[in-house]
Amino acid sequence: MTPRRLATAALAVTFAAALLGACTSATHGRSAAPAASTTASPPSTSAPSTSRPAATAQYYVSIGDSYAAGYQPTGAGTGGTTRNGFAYQLVPLAAARGYHLKLVNFGCSGATTASVLKTAGCPAKDLGPGAAPYTATQAVAAEDFIRAHRAAIGLVTISLGGNDVTACGLSASPLTCLSDALTRVKTNLATLLTGLRSAGGTATRIVGITYPDVLLAGSLTAIPAAKTIATLSVTAFQSLINPALKATYAAAGAGFVDVTAATGAYGPLTATTTLAPYGTIPVPVAKVCTLTYSCQYHDIHPRTAGYAIIAGLIAAELPKR
């Protein structure tokens, strides 16, 4: 492996620890009140009855981690799930494209590609607002719902992957750990997608997402290693994390949206702008500060505008009616 590939792999490990260490925030014993919503609340996400929906209505099934559940911090180390999450914002965006969707949110803060397959239930505080509790694994709960409403499933989204490799940040052999973790992510996602396809059929529209490059916020610190990681982080996303996720979704006939690109990470770090209170900083860094809480609270979750970008990317995957 070349020095550049070694650096990229090491960066990916650091990325994983930063990203999904924060993604599991709601499972670390926090019980703070949820962040106040700054947007109009979409319809309730409580699981509907099994009665046949209106002819024009379809269900939108959200599966995944704290991004799926809509987590946002209210301060350093505090927060909760909110209706500002992308799944909630997607419903009105889909309506504008001719899709009348009712959200059924199975997302659970702290979920991994392994836990959705093996861990029963989700603590109430880790569910998205309005989501109904379930006692089965997240995968089985979602599959059962999709199978029971097979003719009325309009969309399934999946936000998973990073929590699986968090431990690699503390591993004695991080490169081996990362390689093994990415293999597990691909294997578990493939299993999940196979189950969803069996429940909903080949025509079921499934879209997976990735994450903003929150490591860019490291360039604002005085720590040389953090600055180096911020510079190399784009390569980690482009060459390791996103390609692995995209290929796995593509193999199952599912779509994939590049949130990293859409939130500005791939722009040149030589282009600068001014953003208070940080002064003159690279444009990609300013974007991640504006769209996530990574600069303000050292928390990787999106602001409402950041979640809106994810919702918009998914909505664009829906052919306009």
CA atoms of 278 and 275, how far apart (whole Å): 6
272-275 vs 279-282, strand pairing mode: antiparallel
H or E element that contains 150: none
Nearest to 32 by CA among 59, 72, 68, 62: 72
Specify the pLDDT at position 165: 67
Specify the pLDDT at position 166: 64
Are 301 and 22 in contact, with CB atoms under 8 Å apart?
yes
Scan for tokens 């093996």, then name that residue. 118
Specify the pLDDT at position 23: 47
Specify the pLDDT at position 169: 56
CB crowding 103-114: b at 16 or more within 10 Å, else e: bbbbbbbbbbbb
Nearest to 68 by CA among 142, 17, 7: 142
Specify the pLDDT at position 9: 44
Scan for tokens 């702290």, then name that residue. 110
Provide the residue-wise pLDDT of the chain in tens; the chain has 321 residues.
433 343 444 444 444 444 444 444 444 333 333 333 333 333 344 444 444 444 468 999 999 999 999 999 999 999 999 999 999 999 999 999 999 999 999 999 999 999 999 999 999 999 999 999 999 999 999 999 999 999 999 999 999 987 776 666 566 776 678 778 889 999 999 999 999 999 999 999 999 999 999 889 988 988 887 788 788 778 878 888 899 999 999 999 999 999 999 999 999 989 999 999 999 999 999 999 999 999 999 998 999 999 999 999 999 999 999
Question: 91 exposed, middle or buried (CB, 10 Å; 0-12, 13-18, 19+)?
Answer: buried
